[in-house]
Amino acid sequence: MSDAEPVRTITCTVNGGLRTATVPVRTSLADFLRETLGLTGTHLGCEEGQCGACTVLSDGRTVRACLLLAVQADGTVIETIEGANTSGRLADLQEAFHVRGALQCGFCTSGILLTADAMLSEGNALERADIRAGLTGHICRCTGYQAIVDAIADIGAARSAASD
Amino acid sequence: MTDELLPATLGDAEPAICTRRLASGRSRYTADVANPKALHAAFLRSPHAHAHILSMDTEPARAMTGVAAVWTGKELLARVNGYAARTAVHPEMKVPLQHALAVETARFHGEPVAIVVAESRARAEDAAAAISVEWSPQPPLCDPGSAADEPPLHPELDTNIALHLEQASEGAEAILAAADRVIERRFAFNRHTGVPLEARSIVADFEPCEGRLEIVMSHQCPHQMQVEFARLLGLAQHRVRIVTPDVGGAFGVKQQLYGEDVAVCAAAVLLGCPVRFVADRAEAMLTDIQAREHLVTARLALDADGRMLGFSIEDTHAIGPYLQYPRSNLGESRALLSLVGAPYVLDCFFGTADIVFQTKAMAGHYRGVGHPLACTVTEALVDEATRVSGHDRIAFRKAQLVRKLPHRSPTGVLFERLAFAECFEALEKAVDLHVLEAEVAKDRARGRIAGWGVAAFIEQTARGPGFYGHGGQSVSSRDGAVVRLEPSGTIRCLSSVTEQGQGTETGVRQLVARALGVCSDAIEIITGDTAVTPHGGGTWGSRGMAIGGQAAWDAAQSLRCEILRLAACLSQRSPEALDLLQGAIVERETGLTIISLSELAAMAHFQPYRFGADRQPQLSASAEYGPLDQPFRAGTGIQLSRIEIDPVTGAVHPLRHLVVHEAGRVVNPLMVDGQIRGGVAQGLGAALFEHCAYAEDGRAEATSLARYQVPMAVDLPDIELVHAGHPTFTDDGLGIVGVGEAGTVGAGAALLNAVNDALAGTGAAAVFTLPLTPPRILAALGAI
């Protein structure tokens, strides 16, 4: 039985580096990041866009890596938690999450951090209710969300104070 | 042992050890652990709730590119033993034999019937889809109420009732029969599940030359799995090693044996190479254990003055087609039979429970086990009693609380410590209930559907060997720790506790730090590896700190004694005159430093002769701990919920939620608060919308997170916490009480009482069927 995997070669910028790989066309972006590139900080919680754990940035916008095929990332600029971590631009949020206990098992955290940063980058002052609304699309099963809201509110206040 | 008086809080609100790493994207969950040689497993699953397998053709699958092996249930029989969750506590229990893969009959939608091992997960899934099965569908068994009358799901057992339980106090029937008033309500509890965000995952590797099976898996109880995999695969127990790296939540879902895990291990043994299986969400929703599907008819008997005389309950607990191995499924009904009415002084109790088979996913021990059911039955009936009699809800409860300890409830349970009086006092200090009542009245006057409610609860934590030990099951209620002094003066602690995000490792580290007078950073904690830590129970029943923490404390105390003896030797002083403080051995009276711990450690490791010719420095100490005859340690509390109902959509909006809690000595307040808040979120989710729905044909409907709603941030309010003061430490050792399940235990009951209070405000009848979905609320309001 001949059943060779159809493949395609893609090139994209991942965390600042140009990456070229030949992937089965049915490979999701999440699997490409995790299995091909070894970027296991992007987690798969549902593989159908419900839980938000696999959130990454594509051309600066938050996307679900489980809902995109790797071939759709051809020519784009992808940033994952590893890239954001290395750049240091999430350092304040990461530290606040750690100190506040805004993560327990940590499985949802990569995605929530990227969404939180995007939420705060829009520059609006955020009330707790806004933060809760902004977290829609992310499931955290451990914390009850309160510490996450606390951490994001802290950094929202700190960032706007710093930019004043 | 130190005989210094310990404070109520043993440590600071230190952040968890691993969260900085996890927030940096540097996780090590099982699926993150790269093993380039691993083959991938996928399963063919039953599309039917109940069907005989007439024939299976696996040849097309075997012929496909990249496929290493295919086994059916029948083919695996030769390599893997079947299993049955028997307990010597109930030898009369009907326990069907279960196999890793169904052999002749599949009895739930999603039950695995064949395993495919291939070079990639996609290839394995393709091949599984190429297996053809000739099915003979059989009638599903979905309704727990009719299980007794249906043909037996396991013909060899003659009945669908696995076990009938009864619990009665002396003279109960006469007291209940003579009561002035009996309030009877029927509760229907919804089947729901834990949904850890990381699905179950396992990588098994077998070394055929040495007969060694090494497993990396996402599990709460690695030592239990070591015992069971060895038993089922016929391997030597000491050559089975389980490593649990980062675990992405568990909540009881990762506590038992799953057929897929056994099949993956068998595949690794048969192929002599690593095999990996990571469940996707649909597989998790189909096959993770589910919990708490009960029908309960409950009665509360009152005398003419409205005093509660006692409860009687008839419980039907619908489990899946098998009893979960190795623990069995008695926990939920036993909790109902022992904890209904528990907060109150009562004259009697009478209860029965039937544990029945059905063609749904396996049931197991989800966070809280039966405690939320017992709390809901009790507290909803208490509220009904006050509605009928016109009593004040708080005064009625306070007048009848258990205050005198120790207390034996009419269910036969001995409570050594309960703090209800303190909790109610703390509640009334934290919340002006008259103001709350007035606010709700004002809302109602403005036409809103508003209400509030409370629920008093007990959480039995840190259980002893009373059930599994007597049952002859290989489930440890103990934990152990080894504490080692390294040459640099730093400490390594190997503990059998396991970590799924609760902060158990952090708490253990704080206890060791306190015992040895060093900072937390000087200690490295190693958990989750059966090859290096002592054997122990791991995570179940809120036990990590109370049991595992105690073991680490005891081991650290032994090491402390030895360190002080060695320092005494060097300094010509008595060990009693010395203390360990901030990494140095000091003279107790003057605070004068005798020697730093690092100098002493290096000396003891490399120049041992300096401590005398006949003394061998002992630089590691171990201890194991577990309750021997104490059945549990009780935590107590009260939860308060305030809600509003949207009259158009029927949605219940929790506006306020407060937990008053007492749980003995606290090690880390940040971790305790995190456990309680997270537990409340799960309790509220279960009460509001979580439901493992099944179609009439028995097929699962809740197969994704789109069809099984868990709370998101917008669904929950901030959760206020009040820690009740004046704890009494009647327990042995450190007097730590578990907190892992407290939030879940009382949250749903408080919310249900608030909803029923709101419904009563409109003149509508109360609801006792869960979850409180919008259609159910609209029906109660008469709007649909």
Tokens of B443: 């809302």
From the list B620, B625, B629, B622, the residue with the least C-alpha distance to B479 is B625
Option in B198, B280, B716 nearest A107 (CB): B198
Average the pLDDT over B76-94 and give the result.
96
Q: Is the pLDDT of residue B3 over 50?
A: no
Option in A48, A82, A145 nearest B713 (CB): A145
| End-of-domain residue from the set A61, A84, A107 | A84
Q: Are residues A61 and A75 in the same domain?
A: yes
Fold (topology level) of B368-462+632-780: Aldehyde Oxidoreductase; domain 4 (3.30.365)
Measured distance CA(B181)–CA(A56) in Å, rounded: 61
- Residue B723 pairs in a beta bridge with B661
- What percent of chain B clears pLDDT 90, i.e. is strictly above it? 95
With CB atoms and an 8 Å threshold, state whether A50 touches B704: yes
A152 assigned to some structural domain = yes
Q: What would the pLDDT profile of B593-618 be if each residue is shown by its tens digit?
A: 999 999 999 999 999 999 988 899 99
Work out the pLDDT band at B729, boundaries 50, 70, 90: low
What is the CA B640 to chain-centroid distance, rounded? 23
From the list B118, B142, B148, B140, the residue with the least C-alpha distance to B44 is B118
Measured distance CA(B213)–CA(B231) in Å, rounded: 12
Q: How far is A50 from chain B (nearest CA, A)?
A: 6
Q: What would the pLDDT profile of B219-248 be if each residue is shown by its tens digit?
A: 999 999 999 999 999 999 999 999 999 999
From the list B607, B576, B577, the residue with the least C-alpha distance to B589 is B577
Q: Are residues A139 and A155 in the same domain?
A: yes
CB B311 within 8 A of CB B187: no
Work out the pLDDT band at B36, boundaries 50, 70, 90: confident
B302 — phi, psi (to 5°)? -125, 150
From the list A95, A104, A112, A83, the residue with the least C-alpha distance to A154 is A95
Which residues fall within 8 angstroms of residue B262, CB to CB, at 6 or more apart?
A: B80, B100, B229, B232, B233
Q: What would the pLDDT profile of B381-401 be if each residue is shown by its tens digit?
A: 999 999 999 999 999 999 999
CATH code of the domain made up of B19-26+478-625: 3.30.365.10
**Secondary structure of B295-342 as H, E, C letters:** EEEEEEEECCCCCEEEEEEEEEEECCCCCCCCCCCCHHHHHHHHHCCC
Mean residue pLDDT of chain B comes to 96
Which residues fall within 8 angstroms of residue B269, CB to CB, at 6 or more apart?
A: B79, B206, B208, B213, B233, B235
| End-of-domain residue from the set A43, A59, A84 | A84
Collapsing DSSP to helix, strand or coil, B170 comes out as: coil
From the list A64, A49, A70, A151, the residue with the least C-alpha distance to B23 is A151
- Residues of chain A found within 8 Å of residue B249, distances taken between Cβ atoms: 104-105, 107, 141-142
Average the pLDDT over B68-72 and give the result.
98
Residues of chain A with pLDDT under 50: 1
* Alpha-carbon radius of gyration of chain A: 17
With CB atoms and an 8 Å threshold, state whether A139 touches B710: yes
CATH number for the domain that contains residue A49? 3.10.20.30
Q: How many CB pairs under 8 A join A and B?
A: 191
A1 assigned to some structural domain = no
Q: What is the pLDDT of residue B1?
A: 38
- Residues of chain B found within 8 Å of residue A30, distances taken between Cβ atoms: none
A126 assigned to some structural domain = yes
Average the pLDDT over B632-646 and give the result.
96
| Topology match between the domains B33-138+196-250+254-287 and B368-462+632-780 | no
A2 assigned to some structural domain = no
Q: Indicate if the alpha-carbon torsion angle B459, B462, B464, B467 is positive or negative.
A: positive
Measured distance CA(B250)–CA(B540) in Å, rounded: 10
Tokens of B426: 């703390």
With CB atoms and an 8 Å threshold, state whether A3 touches B65: yes
A100 — phi, psi (to 5°)? -80, -10
Q: What is the pLDDT of residue A164?
A: 73
Q: Is the pLDDT of residue B278 over 50?
A: yes
Q: Is the pLDDT of residue B727 over 80?
A: no
Burial of A97 per CB tally in 10 Å (0-12, 13-18, 19+): buried
Q: Are residues A19 and A72 in the same domain?
A: yes
Measured distance CA(B132)–CA(A109) in Å, rounded: 41
Q: What would the pLDDT profile of B92-123 be if each residue is shown by its tens digit?
A: 999 999 999 999 999 999 999 999 999 999 99
| End-of-domain residue from the set A38, A68, A84 | A84
With CB atoms and an 8 Å threshold, state whether B706 touches A50: yes
Q: Are residues A57 and A114 in the same domain?
A: no
Collapsing DSSP to helix, strand or coil, B466 comes out as: coil
Q: What would the pLDDT profile of B331-379 be if each residue is shown by its tens digit?
A: 999 999 999 999 999 999 999 999 999 999 999 999 999 999 999 999 9
Q: What is the pLDDT of residue B289?
A: 98
Q: Is the pLDDT of residue B577 over 60?
A: yes
Q: Which CATH number fits domain B33-138+196-250+254-287: 3.40.50.300, 3.90.1170.50, 3.30.460.20, 3.30.930.10?
A: 3.90.1170.50
Q: Following CA atoms B487, B490, B496, B502 in sequence, which dihedral angle do they give, to the nearest 10 degrees? A: -160
Q: Report cis status (omega within 30 of 0) of the bond before B151.
A: no
Q: Are residues A112 and A74 in the same domain?
A: no
A97 assigned to some structural domain = yes
Q: What is the pLDDT of residue B678?
A: 98
Q: Which domain holds residue A117?
A: 88-163
Q: Is the pLDDT of residue B737 over 50?
A: yes
H-state helical runs in B96-247: 121-129, 172-177, 222-233
Q: Are residues A19 and A60 in the same domain?
A: yes
Q: Are residues A65 and A120 in the same domain?
A: no
Measured distance CA(B587)–CA(B571) in Å, rounded: 10
CB A26 within 8 A of CB A70: no
Tell me the C-alpha to C-alpha distance, in Å, between residue A39 and each of A36, A88, A111, B406, B650.
8, 17, 13, 56, 44
Average the pLDDT over B308-327 and give the result.
98
Report which residue type is found at B425: E
- This complex has an ipTM of 0.97
Measured distance CA(B438)–CA(B431) in Å, rounded: 12
Q: Is the pLDDT of residue B417 over 90?
A: no
Measured distance CA(B711)–CA(B776) in Å, rounded: 18
CATH number for the domain that contains residue A117? 1.10.150.120
Q: Are residues A73 and A111 in the same domain?
A: no
Q: Are residues A28 and A80 in the same domain?
A: yes
- For an interface test with B, which of A130, A145, A148, A149 has the most B Cβ atoms less than 10 Å from its Cβ? A145
Q: What would the pLDDT profile of B453-476 be if each residue is shown by its tens digit?
A: 999 999 999 999 999 999 999 999
Q: What would the pLDDT profile of B123-138 be if each residue is shown by its tens digit?
A: 999 999 999 999 999 9
What is the residue extent of each domain of chain B?
Answer: 19-26+478-625, 33-138+196-250+254-287, 368-462+632-780
